[in-house]
Amino acid sequence: ETGVTQTPRHLVMGMTNKKSLKCEQHLGHNAMYWYKQSAKKPLELMFVYSLEERVENNSVPSRFSPECPNSSHLFLHLHTLQPEDSALYLCASSQNERTGMVYGYTFGSGTRLTVV
C-alpha cells in the first residue's frame, strides 16, 4: 500500500447511528488532516494533527470527533449526524518542518458519506 488510504469509500448512515472513518498514510509524514468537501463549496478544513497532537479544530460540531493514535492513522468518529453533513470527507497528510517550510498535501480518495 502506498500513499493515503481511506475506508470505507462509501457510507450510508442514519441520524442515530455511530460510525467511524479511517485514514492511513504510508508516506512517513508527520501531519494529518480531515477536510469536508461539499458541492459548490471550498474544501473545509475540519481537523489538523501534527506529531499526533491536535493543532487546529475549525469550530467543527461535536458530533464529529477525531482520533489520531499515531502518525500513520487518523480516525473520524461520527454520531447523531444531520442530513447536511452528507459530503465527501477527505483525509490528507504532509510533512511539516519546524522551520515553517510547507510541502504539498497528499490526499486520499475520500469517503462519500450520506446521512439519511
Q: C-alpha cell of 76? A: 473520524
Shortest distance, position 16 Cβ to another protein, whole Å: 29
- The Cβ of residue 105 has, within 10 Å, a number of other Cβ atoms equal to 17
Which of 17/52 has CB closer to another protein?
52
Report whether 89 contacts 111 (CB < 8 A): yes
Name, in order, each residue with C-beta under 8 angstroms of 59's C-beta and a sequence gap of 6 or more.
none
Residue 11 contacts another protein per CB under 8 A:
no
Site residues for another protein, 29-68, by CB under 8 A, read: 33, 40-43, 45, 48, 50, 55-56
- The Cβ of residue 39 has, within 10 Å, a number of other Cβ atoms equal to 7
Shortest distance, position 86 Cβ to another protein, whole Å: 16
Which of 80/106 has CB closer to another protein?
106
Q: Is 34 helix (H, G, I), strand (E, B) or coil?
A: strand
Binding residues for another protein, rule: CB under 8 A, are: 4, 6, 33, 40-43, 45, 48, 50, 55-56, 90, 92, 96, 100-110
